[in-house]
């Protein structure tokens, strides 16, 4: 299934995209796409529902973040060998973890705000894992049972805030609009192998990132199991799994986002995101 949240910001409704590409309303079955709606038994009930019996949504409404009321937004840094190389950092022996505040989450096609004082706002296409079943101290071989599905994440980052202002990475990762997720949450039954997905990102029509989840250092089961050792994971938590090479920071002549640009990114089977950049108010 391709699950979505549609409507104006803060008032999104749950929906799904049927086999013909039609948006169908799910509000008669679940209150939102998130939390208990992502439990295995709830997804099984939704999967057993004939989409043709659900109300069709006319027009092209805004798609919000594909998961609502996210509890935790956990990120893995330096999870691609070639990205670690371009950043001039050693390949990690264990996953590098940090958190993005949930206040940064926006829809896949919402604008990205360039923060006040920013000089180095950067892009990062990433595979997102959406948790569907509570996980605590789980083994890698049990990890998939705790995953509801996958989505695209643009882990927007301000490199000067992240690397030049002291302290942890968080201050460069959490500005408003720095977490576009979606457009869809694609359930695991539609993604045969999350480690065989091509991904790319363009800025103003110029290809900047071309990669594949095949080159992840730590795979999905390892990541979910590892994080569950340090914090319990709950349905609706989102894990962003790292980015391939091609970020602005890694270019021979580093280039960063400024107001008035366009960002277009996609992952096989997970759809596309399109954002414009604007100055933060």
Cβ contacts of residue 123 below 8 Å, gap of 6+?
154, 156, 201, 203, 208, 209, 247, 248, 257, 263, 265
Characterize 243-263 residue by residue with b for buried, 16 or more Cβ atoms within 10 angstroms of its Cβ, and e for exposed.
bbbbbbbbeeeeebbeeebeb
The CA dihedral of 81, 82, 84, 90, to the nearest 10 degrees, is 60
Cis peptide before 80 (omega within 30 of 0): no
pLDDT of residue 129: 98
The predicted structure's pLDDT at residue 159: 96
For residue 225, the surrounding DSSP H or E stretch is: helix 220-228
pLDDT of residue 86: 78
Please report the pLDDT score of residue 245 as a whole number.
92
Q: For the chain, give percent helix, strand, coil, nearest 5.
A: 20, 30, 50
Question: What is the model's pLDDT at position 196?
Answer: 97
Please state the domain extents for the chain: 69-279
CA–centroid distance for 247 within its chain: 16
Neighbours of 10 (CB within 10 A): 6
**Rg of the chain, C-alpha, whole Å:** 18
- Residue indicated by tokens 């690397």: 163
Question: Which portions of the chain are predicted below pLDDT 70?
Answer: none
Please state the length of the chain.
Answer: 281
CATH number assigned to the domain with residue range 69-279, chosen from the 4 options 3.90.850.10, 1.10.340.70, 3.40.50.410, 3.10.180.10: 3.90.850.10
Supply the pLDDT for residue 46: 97
pLDDT the model gives residue 90: 84
């Amino acid at each position: 299934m391709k699950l979505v949240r549609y409507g104006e910001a803060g008032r999104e409704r749950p929906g799904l995209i049927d086999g013909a590409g039609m948006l169908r309303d799910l509000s008669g079955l679940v209150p939102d796409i998130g939390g208990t709606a992502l439990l295995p038994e709830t997804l099984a009930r939704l999967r057993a529902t004939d989409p043709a019996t659900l109300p069709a949504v006319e027009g092209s409404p805004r798609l919000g973040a594909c998961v609502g009321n996210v509890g935790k937004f956990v990120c893995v840094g330096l999870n691609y060998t070639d990205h670690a190389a371009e950043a001039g950092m050693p390949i990690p022996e264990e996953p590098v973890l940090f958190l993005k505040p949930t206040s940064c989450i926006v829809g896949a096609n919402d604008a990205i705000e360039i923060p006040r004082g920013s000089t180095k706002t950067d892009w990062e296409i990433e595979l997102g894992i959406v948790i569907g079943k509570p996980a605590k101290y789980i083994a890698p071989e049990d990890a998939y049972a705790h995953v509801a599905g996958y989505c695209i994440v643009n882990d927007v980052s301000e490199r000067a805030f992240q690397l030049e202002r002291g302290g942890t990475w968080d201050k460069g990762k959490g500005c408003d609009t720095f977490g576009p997720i979606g457009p869809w949450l694609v359930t695991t039954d539609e993604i045969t192998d999350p480690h065989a997905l091509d991904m790319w990102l363009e800025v103003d029509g110029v290809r900047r990132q071309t990669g594949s989840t095949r080159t992840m250092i730590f795979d999905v089961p390892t990541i979910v199991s590892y994080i569950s050792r340090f914090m319990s994971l709950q349905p609706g938590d989102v894990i962003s799994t790292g980015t391939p090479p091609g970020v602005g920071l890694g270019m021979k002549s580093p280039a960063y986002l400024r107001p008035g640009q366009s960002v277009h990114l996609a992952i096989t089977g997970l759809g596309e995101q399109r954002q414009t950049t604007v100055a933060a108010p």
